[in-house]
């Protein structure tokens, strides 16, 4: 149900994907420019050193020999010597490699920070739609909430990078361990572990931004609320994101071959928006709040003994906004009862006179 309703809201607010896509492309250009400025001097030195070894021509000849089936012992020795020479090049440029590694970590930090800067604005735009059925411009929201978005993105990045390093080490360790047993088993377990890690990381912070947008909590207060509430709802959230990970992996593979990678960029932006929507849908269901699933369709989690999906007509919209009901909104029985009470009051006034 959570997945279905999230997808329904995504289809109704799909224009937000294009705006997020533009933002992601701008961030990618910034990262590429910074990466070129930081990494090119170091990479050029290494490439020039390795180029002198004729690495690619020798590897090409070796692969052709394997395909022809006429590999000799001398070929093995030449390739082995080649990699020894590459190791020597790396050892001679040890300080440059360390510097390159530091630059990569900095670039990754900047990339995660800039991408997560749009999370709050996307969530706030979606929350406005779910709460009132109205649309709010993404860029105007981004500018208006820039300070809040920056605080969230900084804290989110600082927490996530160590977690991702730990999870990456676990995945690599499992891969190395089971590669000694069976390669097929290793591939299966690593894939399963990647899906589990994806679901865990997305579930761990799923209620963080919704608490900020819906309840106007501060960044730290919302994070505390997130961990406190997820104790009782982690399983359902994990299941939704586990399915999400599998679906996204399948769509990514298809888009890579069908669109030569172009569709993968669109899919990335779609994933960013969908996760923000799914987080809000989870929050609304956990807290028993109404929300718009479509322009004229409301999900009411407060109705336990009546249909939870209904058309947003005038009376129900008034109820949704807590507007006092008029006489035309009242049931006929209530109107008759009020008229009878008025007649009794008039009779009493006549008797008193």
Q: Is the pLDDT of residue 77 over 70?
A: no
For 320, residues 6+ apart whose C-beta sits below 8 A from its C-beta are 290, 298, 312
CA atoms 67, 68, 73, 78: torsion sign? negative
How many angstroms separate the CA atoms of 1 and 130, rounded? 16
CA atoms within 13 A on the CB side of 273: 27
pLDDT band at 18 (very low <50, low <70, confident <90, very high): very high
Which pLDDT belongs to residue 325?
42
- Provide the pLDDT for residue 50: 64
Q: What is the pLDDT of residues 275-312, one digit of tens each?
A: 999 999 999 988 888 888 877 787 876 654 344 555 55
Range from 60-69, 128-137, 181-190, 269-278 carrying the lowest mean pLDDT: 60-69
Q: Report in angstroms the alpha-carbon separations of 223 from 171, 191, 198, 343.
A: 27, 29, 19, 58
What does DSSP assign to residue 325? P
pLDDT of the residue at 12:
85
Q: Which residue has the higher pLDDT, 78 or 166?
A: 166
**Whole-prediction pTM value?**
0.73
CA distance 96 to 337: 87
Classify 85 in phi/psi space as left (phi over 0), alpha (psi -120 to 50) or beta.
Answer: alpha
Q: Say if CB 116 and CB 27 are below 8 A apart.
A: no
């Amino acid at each position: 149900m959570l997945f279905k309703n999230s997808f329904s809201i995504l289809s109704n607010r799909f224009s937000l994907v294009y705006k997020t896509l533009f933002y992601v492309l701008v961030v990618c250009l910034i990262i590429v420019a910074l990466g070129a400025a930081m990494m090119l001097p170091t990479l050029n030195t290494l490439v020039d050193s390795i180029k002198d070894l004729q690495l690619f021509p020798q590897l090409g000849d070796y692969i052709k020999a394997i395909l022809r089936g006429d590999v000799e012992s001398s070929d093995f020795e030449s390739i082995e010597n080649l990699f020894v020479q590459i190791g020597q090049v790396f050892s001679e440029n040890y300080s440059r490699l360390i510097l390159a590694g530091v630059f990569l970590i900095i670039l990754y930090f900047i990339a995660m920070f800039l991408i997560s800067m749009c999370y709050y604005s996307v969530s706030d735009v979606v929350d406005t739609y779910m709460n009132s059925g109205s649309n709010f411009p993404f860029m105007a929201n981004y500018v208006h909430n820039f300070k809040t978005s920056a605080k969230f993105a900084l804290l989110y990045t600082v927490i996530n990078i160590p977690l991702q390093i730990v999870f990456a080490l676990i995945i690599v360790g499992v891969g190395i361990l089971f590669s000694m047993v069976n390669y097929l088993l290793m591939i299966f377990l690593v894939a399963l572990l990647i899906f589990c890690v994806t679901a865990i990381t997305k579930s761990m912070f799923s209620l963080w931004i919704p608490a900020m947008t819906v309840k106007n909590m501060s960044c730290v207060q919302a994070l505390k609320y997130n961990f406190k509430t997820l104790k009782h709802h982690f399983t359902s959230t994990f299941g939704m994101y586990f399915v999400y990970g599998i679906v996204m992996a399948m769509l990514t593979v298809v888009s890579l071959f069908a669109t030569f990678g172009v569709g993968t960029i669109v899919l990335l932006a779609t994933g960013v928006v969908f996760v923000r929507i799914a987080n809000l849908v989870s929050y609304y269901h956990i807290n028993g709040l109404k929300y718009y699933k479509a322009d004229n369709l409301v999900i009411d989690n407060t109705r336990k003994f009546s249909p939870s999906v209904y058309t947003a007509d005038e009376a129900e919209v008034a109820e949704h906004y807590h507007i006092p009901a008029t006489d035309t909104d009242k049931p006929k029985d209530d109107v008759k009862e009020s008229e009878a009470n008025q007649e009794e009051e008039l009779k009493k006034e006549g008797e008193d006179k």
